[in-house]
Amino acid sequence: MARAPARRRVLLGALALGALLAALLPFEEYLAEISNGDLASSYTWRLFPQIERDIPNAADHFQGIEDFHGRARAGTLPRFSYIEPTWTFAHVTDATSVQEKLTTDQGNDYHPPGNVLVGEQFVKDVYTSLISNREAWQKTALLITFDEFVGTFDHVTADLAPGGILAPTGGAAKPVFESPTGFDFTRLGARVPTILVSPLLALMRNQIAAAERMGRLLAEVVAQL
């Protein structure tokens, strides 16, 4: 087999690389738009346009994560803070093009195919900032939840079988949305993990226990009437 001269091979390689980079450019621009940290890249801001439409000066309430860490350590957080992670964007499936597979942005949101250790570090950093101000932490609750189960294990399977639950339409009307895959919405997915971290939990447990004891006492009194 004849080989191309070295200069030609270098030229052909450069042309191929240039063509690949040109093909990747639209995907790079898209990723930059949705992951550059600007307000327009926020999922919450983009998915709920009514925030900008209905809330005066709504943009002023969106800040970077470093602002959160600074306020947490200073004990000056608002009464409610919503923390949005950096999202993982990767379209690695059999149906996606080579360009899409090569263009990814790894976030800290635990979402496959992102590195879950990065997500663990993100949660740890948030927790560390919250507990650094002991006085503020004593009246703070950190709620960690997910929008889907993304493959986490769930040993409860009773409602996972088809027909396990009633469809949202109640079975009496034609669904507003008909899935192209034929999914009839009569089964649940795995449960979504939710974690509550707070020094207030001990007090809450004591109050719940006291309420349960009072409930049993009232039931006994009513039974004697």
Query: How far is the C-alpha of 48 from the C-alpha of 36, rounded, in Å?
Result: 19
Determine the 3-state secondary structure of 123 from DSSP.
helix
Domain boundaries, the chain: 22-140, 155-189
Determine the 3-state secondary structure of 197 from DSSP.
strand
pLDDT tens for the chain, residues 1 to 225: 545 455 544 554 555 556 656 666 666 666 667 667 788 888 888 888 899 999 999 999 999 999 999 999 999 999 999 999 988 776 555 555 555 556 666 788 887 777 889 899 999 999 999 999 999 999 999 999 887 776 566 777 776 777 777 776 666 566 666 777 777 777 777 778 788 899 988 877 777 676 667 667 667 656 654
Instruction: Please give the DSSP secondary-structure letter assigned to residue 144.
Output: E
Q: What is the pTM of this model?
A: 0.67
Residues 28-69: tens digit of each pLDDT: 666 667 667 788 888 888 888 899 999 999 999 999 999 999
Q: Residue 89 pairs with which residues in a beta bridge?
A: 105
